[in-house]
A and B are shown apart, each in its own frame.
Chain A
Amino acid sequence: MPSRPTPFPGSERIAVRNLCVDYHGVVAVHEASLHLDAGTICALVGMNGAGKSTLFKALMGFVRPSAGSIAINGLPLRQARRARAVAYVPQTESVDWNFPVNVHEVVMMGRYGAMNLLRIPRPIDRQAVKEALERVDLWPLRHRQIGALSGGQRKRAFLARALAQGASVMLLDEPFNGVDIRTEKLMIELFEQFRREGRTLMISTHDLAHVTSFCDQVVLINKTVLAYGETSSVFTSENLALTFGGLRLEGDPTTAVEPEPPQAP
């Protein structure tokens, strides 16, 4: 059932150079740099207010950097957006689940950028949506109103939208919040498939156990990128202490830091 691997040319997915973003003079991110290659699952770890959301917004082109540059697939952001290269998978808390749309319509929204002005689906769009829904096992539930899905199915519906979009870079905001172990396992399997297809995933997470279990790379952020690279070399107690505001951690870094409370929707 898995669809054919989508070919994504080039080996560099995300290139951020000396990025600075400020809001009305207040620094949100300062001199941040990172490079992520194709086929990478990268965890984005930092405290609330450390600049994770700002970095996501910058990667989607929603905030104007005061300095520095961003390239996606080697393209400037504007072109990358036109190519629908970046998909954002929101936190479940930020979605209006009573909205009168069904699963198929939500996934079809991933294709809007490729359609004409009236957004009338072509056969190729229907096919992309069908493949995406089949991959996340939601094809039989495609006519359900999105709020009638369970928590795990809701997450998968939004992953299907990113798939239908054909994105080579996926930004996932707290994807494991409020999901059970079974759904979590299913999602990690999907993430690993995406990696094999050459997509790059950046996952903002509070659960540090995930970082060591399946993320190849990690970006530690606290107003700037403190460290990034292979999980084994970057995910150390010293670096985590820096990330979490000078708190000195002992022992296993995956258990020593208390997770932050989830953000309000």
Chain B
Amino acid sequence: MTAVLTWLIEPLQQEFMVRALLVSMLVSCVCGLLSCYMTLKGWALMGDAVSHAVMPGVVIAYALNLPFAVGAFVFGVGSVALIGYIKQMTRIKEDTVIGLVFTGFFALGLTLISKVRSSIDLSHILFGNVLGISSSDILQTVVISVLVLSVLLVLRKDFLLFCFDPTHARSIGLHTGVLHYLLLSMLSLAAVAGLQTVGIILVVAMLVTPGATAYLLTDRFDRMVWLSILSAVISSVAGIYWSYWMDASTAGCIVLVQTLLFLVCFLLAPRHGLLAQRRRSPRASRFPSA
């Protein structure tokens, strides 16, 4: 018992650990909520694209002494707009356009970081640096998080309808174009917040895995949101502790815990887990009940 308490309390005596835990819990709330929409809309690849595309924005913002969030947001939204434009103007399919645009932006970021004089550490952008997060970065993360959470909470039903049936949404006078780009803007902002914690490479896990895990556990959207946030927060806290005691990569540990939680749900979820599906007779699982 004492050993467990020591295991839990000792890291909290370090200020950087407390900050890391608080920041990553806040980011987990934002990403957990947003990941429900990403999962239901099928925007995982878009999340990956946006998170990579913000890189040149981060580099330019640091070089110009601007808040990194501003640069990241401009490039995140810019990449989304560019993807939409190329898709509309050519016959190239969306997944190809996404792959094309995000690698282009990412390459630009890499090139810039090697040429622009700044104090940025490439590995911090790529893999996160939540244990060494600065006060100004914390402030930016808090502002972004409050903004994204507010927009998602106010428009949560509109976004839900937009994901479920955009045609109906449009026919009753909702502005689906605005909802589309607003949700993608929230994705850009959440990616910026998430890259503080786990970095550009793994931020897509924060934007997809909690929602996918929760989707296996419930058929109600409200419950899905809470479960998603809960799994994201648990993963962040457990991942940070794990990385502290194992002296391992924080981003790696957080995402690994998320993935483990997903695997547990994939196997054991009461209705949609693998074992539950096996238990049901093939006949019952194939035909919906009347």
Task: Report, as a range, how many residues of chain B touch the other chain.
Answer: 20 to 34
A118 to B174, CA, bound (A): 13
Check A254 for interface membership: any CB of B closer than 8 A: no
Q: Are A161 and B168 in contact (CB under 8 A)?
A: yes
Known: A109-B161, A147-B288, A150-B290. A101 touches B168 (CB 8 A): no
A150 to B163, CA, bound (A): 23
Residue of B nearest to A82 (CB): B173
| Chain A 107-143 interface mask (CB, 8 Å, partner B; 1/0) | 0011011000111000000000000000000000000
Q: Are B157 and A148 in contact (CB under 8 A)?
A: no
Q: With a CB–CB cut-off of 8 A, which chain A residues contact B219?
A: 100, 102, 145, 147-148
Within 8 A of B (CB), among A135-163: 145, 147-150, 153, 161
Check B278 for interface membership: any CB of A closer than 8 A: no
A256 to B248, CA, bound (A): 73
Task: Report, as a range, how many residues of chain A touch the other chain.
Answer: 20 to 34
A82 to B173, CA, bound (A): 6
Q: Are B157 and A119 in contact (CB under 8 A)?
A: yes
Residue of A nearest to B223 (CB): A100
| Chain B 219-230 interface mask (CB, 8 Å, partner A; 1/0) | 111001000000
B interface, over-half SS:
helix
Q: With a CB–CB cut-off of 8 A, which chain B residues contact A118?
A: 154, 157
- The residue in B157, B170, B172 that gathers the most chain A C-beta atoms within 10 A of its C-beta is B172
A150 to B289, CA, bound (A): 6
Binds B, one of A33-41, A85-93, A232-240: A85-93
Q: With a CB–CB cut-off of 8 A, which chain A residues contact B220?
A: 100-102, 145
Q: With a CB–CB cut-off of 8 A, which chain A residues contact B169?
A: 112
Q: Are B288 and A88 in contact (CB under 8 A)?
A: no
A37 to B288, CA, bound (A): 39
Check B15 for interface membership: any CB of A closer than 8 A: no
Q: With a CB–CB cut-off of 8 A, which chain B residues contact A81?
A: 171-173
Q: With a CB–CB cut-off of 8 A, which chain A residues contact B106?
A: none
Check A204 for interface membership: any CB of B closer than 8 A: no
A84 to B164, CA, bound (A): 19
> Least Cβ distance of A24 to chain B in Å?
10
10 contacts across the A-B interface (CB closer than 8 A): A62-B170, A81-B172, A90-B165, A99-B40, A101-B160, A101-B221, A102-B220, A109-B165, A112-B174, A148-B219
Name B residues whose Cβ lies closer than 8 Å to a Cβ of A: 40, 154-155, 157-158, 160-161, 163-165, 167-174, 215, 218-221, 224, 288-290
With A109-B161, A148-B289 given, name 5 new contacts (CB 8 A).
A88-B167, A96-B164, A112-B174, A118-B154, A153-B290
